[in-house]
A and B are shown apart, each in its own frame.
Chain A
Amino acid sequence: DVKVTQSSRYLVKRTGEKVFLECVQDMDHENMFWYRQDPGLGLRLIYFSYDVKMKEKGDIPEGYSVSREKKERFSLILESASTNQTSMYLCASSLGQGVGETQYFGPGTRLLVL
């Protein structure tokens, strides 16, 4: 079974802090994704990566950056956390570049910025 793990289930940070969210997948997937999930807004894509050291902006990249130094690990970085970044963050991965690749999601990290 594909397993996507996220470093924390719950996180509380202060405004202005630098925040790192870590995601690891164990199935040698090429693609990894970061979404945020907010009530009534669904899942919105922040960034994704289709290869090591490669990244593409999603729909809401402002205030975020990412790092993918190893194939299995994709980090989301909040350079200076703000209260409007309080949200559920979901990481996902998929195998390759074909159409119809299933995305496998981690359990999510609920971030509260005070």
Chain B
Amino acid sequence: QQQVKQSPQSLIVQKGGISIINCAYENTAFDYFPWYQQFPGKGPALLIAIRPDVSEKKEGRFTISFNKSAKQFSLHIMDSQPGDSATYFCAASRPNQAGTALIFGKGTTLSVSS
């Protein structure tokens, strides 16, 4: 119930291609779904986030698609660039808990080849 399952574990995409990372959850009380991006040697940083009352959110080349009935959400990176090579984590906000702690997926390592 308190898990977020992320796939694939690793992904190799050609420059200019579309990168797609998927996440699934069980707890329907989750109310906020962020994606974090982490470069080597750095801490994760918020990339984009969505609330469950919205089916899609787009920011530049990054889009979250959210399917409430399937309890799934995904990150799409259009026109992937070598600079997008990083580890990506999906997450969900724990409901009714002080401090708005997040549950993170296990991460996807993306490599964009030039």
Contacts and interface: CB of A to CB of B under 8 A. Distances in A.
Contact of A31 (B34, B43, B46, B100): B100
Q: How large is the interface on B (under 10, 10 to 19, 20 to 34, 35 or more residues)?
A: 20 to 34
Q: Interface SS of chain B: helix, strand, loop or mixed? A: loop
Contact of B43 (A41, A90, A94, A100): A90
A41 B105 CA distance: 8
A33 B105 CA distance: 17
B45 interface: yes
A99 B9 contact: no
B99 A49 contact: yes
Interface in A28-71: 30-31, 33, 35, 40-45, 48-50, 54, 56, 58-59
A58 B45 CA distance: 20
Given A31-B99, A50-B99, A103 B104 contact: no
Interface of B: 2, 6, 9, 31-32, 34, 36, 41-46, 49, 51, 89, 93, 97-107
Q: Which of B2, B34, B89, B98 counts the most A-chain CB atoms under 10 A from its CB?
A: B98
Given A40-B9, A43-B104, A100-B93, A56 B98 contact: yes
The number of chain A residues touching the other chain, given as a range, is: 20 to 34
Contacts of A92: 43
Contacts of A98: 100
Given A50-B98, A50-B99, A100-B49, A42 B105 contact: yes
B44 to A, nearest CB: 5
B99 A102 contact: no
B88 to A, nearest CB: 11
A6 to B, nearest CB: 9
A13 B36 CA distance: 30
A101 interface: yes
B51 A100 contact: yes
